Structure 1
Amino acid sequence: MVNTINAFDRITDVNMDITIKRQQPVVGLGNLLIINAVTADQNETPLSDQLTPEEVQNGLLMRKTDTATGAVYREYKNLDSVKNDYADNADIVAKAEAYFAQENHSDRIAIADLPAGKEQEALGAFWFFNWTFAIRAKSSDDNPAITLLSNIFEANKDHFLVIQSTDVTFLKTLQGQAYTIALKHDIAEPMDAAYVGAIATLPVGSTTWKFKTLRGITPEALTSTELNAINQVNAVAYTTVFGKNQTTEGKTLSGEYIDTLHGVIWVQNEMQAKLQKLLQDNDKLPYSQIGINMILAVATQVLNTAYEKGIIQQDDNGKADFTISATGRNEQSAKDLSNRHYGGLSFTYHASGAIHSITVRGTINSDTYLN
């Protein structure tokens, strides 16, 4: 798939470059954003970002308008507060209702009104606000709109787009998109909102996205052929297995498991935050082995925490399966020394997996003689 969309820039002095190394085949980051497409004239009058006492009382947590595009971002504390602004939007109300019906929903939900034709610029304005998963307000098989959004998320590689479709054939065209999660389900039900609400806020590294029950969502009766077709495109279904309603495999459209990539996002965010704090809290971080050792210590602690959370695998010796190194000052380029930039820190870790299926082999001894 052709991808001409560039990643958004974040204001930070710590740059992250992570590569996931996979075995070659023989052949709180859980908050939800509802993307609400609006016509250009719906946001003609700029709104003040200053909330009134009444708005605060009614559960509106924040509002931010992007003056360049007219897009508006809001955060709400509960379903009732969403209804205050979107009572006439049945799609948004249904999504918010499904989200807050789940046991593990967050203490907030975000909604962004994005003018048609300005999705990339508008999302960029709010990209680093308090959300990690996004869904569309109106689920539909609008393939061009879904493809555009999917490409935006794929270019940035640090948020997830959750789409819902009944068209398994269309989902094949998005194969390889690592940051798009596809749900194959009747679009009359908001499975996407329920899916995020049930799982996303659980501690990163502690859970897989398979076997989960969604409140208020009807499981589909699937034949093994239908489920195999869904699995082949790396989509997620909701069905009944041995009397329990459950989500299926839990992969993104690339075939990577959601929990693995969620862990990558956690490590990236935590590493950036902790190293940024190191820079900010020290009057001067010396460009010497002392300063480099301080950087190494902070990064090592982040990886140890990731191991404790279940993001990083345990090796055969019962230790955290990661390596980390920091090259010395004399190994840095003259340009980096001149620019006071250190680029000698690197690490590798083995992502912690999960058991999703079991094979049991048995032998039965019988006293019966067969003629």
Structure 2
Amino acid sequence: MPLKDVTVTIDLVKPPRLLGFGKPLIVTKKTGTSTIKNYADLPAVKVDFAESTTAYKKAAAIFAQDHAPAEIAIATYDSAAAANDPKTPVEAVTKYFERDWYFLLTTDATNVEQIAVADYVESQKYKIYVTKATAAADRTAFKAKTYDRTLVFYHTIVAEEPDAALVGELGSQTVGSVTWKFKTLKGITPLDLTKTELNAIHADKAIAYVTKAGIPQTSEGIMVSGEYIDIVHGKDWTQANIENNVQTAFANAPKLPFDSRGISVIKGQVETALLQATDNGIIAKDDDGNPLYTVTALSRTEVPASDRGARKYNGVSFSFELSGAIHSAEITGSILR
């Protein structure tokens, strides 16, 4: 993550894009020194990666979608690299983790390599790994890990890249405005699954691409833990937006006095971010249309003197109710004679 003086922690209690929040990174094997490079279109990708490569095919799946991102990034590793260069997918992810991207995709990685990448992303508590499993055993290997930050797309058509298509279609839409279930992906063939087969996929906390009511669509939008991807995405977006808002207030003011004036600025920046999160669809509204969040701030006198001396203010806290989404419905009716 970028350098900052503001840290926001959000604990998820269950009962406008920022920079990089829809941008995918493709990590792929390529002979030579490791690089990371941005690409704004498919012809640019073709200069560095042949059409036969999985990196190109994933990029093509991303750019084919109606809501494709403005750009993607591709990073490389080489199993025969020099001592300090990444030799595995997880080493490449580690090397480039703090660069400008949010959704991670890997190419041609073994299940063991995928698990190692997922372990690392989970340890960072930031960003999301979306991967493809073509065998049932591979998806069940993820299930045991209960990752909050890995989504497994089960798809038996090896030549297609549904993980990349999913990120391409949904990752760059306004965070909080969409659920990842029910979505149609260009270039992806629905699997012909029975209800029992689909239930088994969902029991493994993976998703698939199926046809319902004659419409090809994603079967769910869940992480390996069972948490919804839009909730994790929205949580990260809200955290980063608050941090950016307050960091900008620090930078733009001659100084923020350690009294009601400075404290009100910090509180105001938090409220601004939460209002935007409400508009995006992350935070719920009550029946009167009011945002369901609260923000509190300790006064100067409530802050320990040692913190005031260190110019450290830890007095703002907030909570909100998630908007969530409706993923199923049961409707009853009656017929009159």
* TM-score (ref. length: structure 2): 0.91
The reply on whether 1:349 has 2:320 as its aligned counterpart is: yes
Match of 1:126 in 2: 96
Q: What is the correspondence of 1:39-188 to structure 2 with a 5 Å cutoff? A: 42-43=32-33, 71-87=34-50, 90-116=53-79, 117=87, 119-120=89-90, 122-138=92-108, 142-175=110-143, 176-186=146-156, 187-188=158-159
Amino acid at match of 1:108: E
Contact 1:260/1:352 (<8 A) preserved:
no
Give structure 1 stretches of 5+ with no counterpart. 1-8, 44-70, 367-371
**Counterpart pick for 1:277 among 230, 245, 248:** 248
The alignment covers a number of residue pairs equal to: 323
Amino acid at match of 1:126: Y
Q: Cα RMSD between the aligned structures? A: 1.8
Which AA in structure 2 matches 1:98? A
CA distance in 2 between counterparts of 1:119 and 1:340 reads 41
Moved more, 209-218 or 337-346: 337-346
Matched, 1:305 2:276: yes
Deviation at 1:88, TM superposition (A): 6.6
Identify the residue that residue 20 of structure 1 maps to in structure 2. 12
Distance 1:334 1:120, change over 3 A: farther
Q: Distance in 2 between matches of 1:178 and 1:235?
A: 12
Superposition deviation, residue 277 in structure 1: 0.2
Distance, in Å, in 1 between the alignment partners of 2:92 and 2:252 is 33
Higher deviation after alignment, 152-161 or 117-126: 117-126
TM-score normalised to structure 1 length? 0.83
Identify the match of residue 201 of structure 1 among 172, 175, 182: 172
What SS does the corresponding residue of 1:308 show, helix, strand or coil? helix
1:174 to partner: Cα distance: 2.8
| Cα displacement (A) at 1:119 | 4.8
- Distance in 1 (CA, whole Å) between partners of 2:168 and 2:125 is 21
Partner of 1:296: 267
Query: For 1:348, what is the secondary structure of its paired residue?
Result: strand
For the structure 1 residues 254 and 88, does the alpha-carbon distance in structure 2 shift closer, same or farther, using more than 3 Å as the test? same
Alignment partners' CA distance in 2, 1:38 and 1:336: 50
Q: Which residue of 2 aligns with 1:51?
A: none
> Which residue of 222, 225, 234 corresponds with 1:251?
222
Task: Report what 2:82 is aligned to.
Answer: none
Q: Give structure 2 stretches of 5+ with no counterpart.
A: 80-86
Larger radius of gyration: 1
> Percentage identity across aligned positions?
36
SS in 1 for 2:248: helix
1:323 equivalent to 2:300? Answer: no
Partner of residue 35, structure 1: 27
Contact 2:205 2:226 in 1 (8 A): yes
